[in-house]
Each structure stands twice: as C-alpha cells, then as structure tokens.
Amino acid sequence: MVLLVSGALVVFSYALLWRGGVADRAIVKRDGKTVIELSLNSARKARVEGPLGTTVIEVQPGRARVFSDPGPRQYCVQQGWLTRAGAVAICAPNHLTLQLNGRNADNADYDSLNY
C-alpha cells in the first residue's frame, strides 16, 4: 500500500512540476560554441564535424535527435527523440551537444531570478 501511494505521488509530482515547454529550435554546439541552429518546423538532416568525425542530427516537425555519431558508446544516439524545451543529448567524445530551446508553458522568460 505504501509503495502504491509513493508511486502515485511520484507520478503526480512529475506531471505537476515538470514544466518543459514546447521546443521550436534545435541548437548544436561544439566545445560550447553554437555551430548550427535548426528550426523544428520542417524535416531535415544536418552534418556537424567534431574531432572524431561527423555527427548527423535529424529534425522532424517538433522533435530532433542524434541520428548517428562516431563516438564508441553511442549514448547520444540512444537518447532518442528530444521533444521538450531544455532537453539535451550530449556526444561527449565528439565534443557536441544537441539542445532543444523554446518557451515554457507559462511563457516565462526566466526559470530563476538572482538578486
């Protein structure tokens, strides 16, 4: 009974607190610098060179993924389709990241404030 209630609480909390919004663009960075920005409005593939070779990024309407990467373990390929703003796939051996950006559901400009 306790496990059932705990599981329901976790699912409810995730749905309530996760506020990743709709993504509208994919940003590919190499060594922290943006090398390409892709709209998520139309299907296409982009090739990005890294130290190990070519990483292929696939974009479909509303989502993006690392289609292929020369890295040995393929973690970023196994990440699959990214669909929410803030989602990231990291191809560490090839020094590349794929990140989806967009506005969150509340249209907030900041997720935290410092003063």
* Tally of structural domains, the chain: 1
What's the confidence (pLDDT) of residue 87?
94
- What average pLDDT does this structure show over 81-109? 85
Alpha-carbon distance of 75 to 49, in angstroms, equals 18
Which of left, alpha, beta for 53 (phi over 0: left; psi -120 to 50: alpha)?
A: left
Q: Residue 77 falls within a domain, yes or no? A: yes
Q: Residue 113 falls within a domain, yes or no? A: no
pLDDT at 107 over 50: no
Instruction: For the full predicted model, state whether its pTM sits above 0.75.
Output: no
Q: Residue 1 falls within a domain, yes or no? A: no
Q: Which amino acid is at 31?
A: D
What digits encode the pLDDT tens for the residues 40-62? Answer: 999 999 999 999 999 999 999 99
Residue 102, classed as helix, strand or coil, is strand
What's the confidence (pLDDT) of residue 49?
96
Identify the band that residue 25 occupies on the pLDDT scale cut at 50, 70 and 90.
Answer: very high
Q: Residue 7 falls within a domain, yes or no? A: no
Domain range enclosing 61:
21-103
What digits encode the pLDDT tens for the residues 65-92? Answer: 999 999 999 999 999 999 999 999 999 9
Q: Residue 76 falls within a domain, yes or no? A: yes
- CATH number, domain at 30? 2.60.320.10
Q: Where are the beta strands (DSSP E) in the chain?
A: 22-30, 33-39, 44-50, 53-60, 63-68, 88-91, 96-103
Residue 70, classed as helix, strand or coil, is coil
